[in-house]
Amino acid sequence: MSDGDLLNLNHAREPEQKALMEQIIADGVCPFCAEHFKKYHPKPIIKETDYWFLTENMSPYPGTKYHFILVYKPAHIRTPSEIVPEGAADLFALLDWAIAEYKIPGGSFFMRFGETRYNGSSVQHLHGQLIMGDVDAPGHQPVRVKLG
C-alpha cells in the first residue's frame, strides 16, 4: 500500500493532525483499520459495535458543537457500496443512538468516497461524520465542508 493510497496530507487541517498523519505514513499502516484505530486515535471510543467505532473527531470542524466520526470496522473499504448489509443496518442504529443520546435537534451526516480530488478526504478508509453546527455560540463560524 502506498502512502498516497491511505492518507492525503494536503487535506489535513490542523498541525497536530498533520504530525500524526506523518507518523502513520512512517509506520505504513491504515490508522482507521480496526487493529490500529485505538493506537492512533486520541479520543475515547464512545460506542463500539461489530461494524463501527463511534468517537469524536480528533480535529473537529470549527463551528461545530458535535463532530463525531463513525469508522467502519470489518475491513479496509473506501466506499459505502462495500458496506455489508448488516453493517448498513447497524450504521442507522448507531446514528439513531447518537442523535438520541446527545439530543441532537438537527444536523448532518456524510460519508466521502472515491478519489480524493473529488471528496477532500484525509483518510482513505470508510468513515461517516455526524455534525451539528454550534449556531447559538457567539461569533459562530459557518460549517462548509470541502469535498472537491
Partner 1 sequence: MLAALPDEFPGFSALPREIRYLMGCGNFEQFLATYQALAKPFAYCPFCDGQEKEETYIMDTMHWVLRHNEFPAKGTKLMLLIVPKKHITDPLEFTTYDGQEIMTLFRHAINHFKIAGGALVMRFGDPQFHSGTVPHLHWNIIWPAGNVEYRVALAKDDDAREENYRRLLGFRVRFNDQGGESVALA
Would you tell me which residues interact with partner 1 (CB under 8 A)?
Answer: 63-64, 79-81, 83, 85, 88-93, 95-96, 99-100, 104-119, 131-136, 140-148
Task: Give the cell for residue 19.
Answer: 504530525
Closer to partner 1 at the Cβ: 19 or 89? Answer: 89
CA proximity to 95, closest of 126, 52, 38? 52
Angle formed at CA 57 by CA 132 and CA 139, multiple of 5 degrees = 45
How far is it, in rounded angstroms, from Cα 123 to Cα 24? 11
Minimum distance, C-beta of residue 62 to partner 1, in the bound complex (Å): 10
Closer to partner 1 at the Cβ: 40 or 73? Answer: 73
Minimum distance, C-beta of residue 39 to partner 1, in the bound complex (Å): 27
Partner residues linked to 132 by β-bridges: 66
Residue with cell 470496522: 73
Closer to partner 1 at the Cβ: 27 or 115? Answer: 115
CA proximity to 9, closest of 63, 1, 24? 24
Closer to partner 1 at the Cβ: 12 or 143? Answer: 143
Give the end-to-end CA distance of the chain in Å, rounded to a whole number.
24
Minimum distance, C-beta of residue 127 to partner 1, in the bound complex (Å): 12
Minimum distance, C-beta of residue 12 to partner 1, in the bound complex (Å): 16
Minimum distance, C-beta of residue 26 to partner 1, in the bound complex (Å): 26
CA proximity to 133, closest of 68, 58, 62? 62
Closer to partner 1 at the Cβ: 24 or 126? Answer: 126
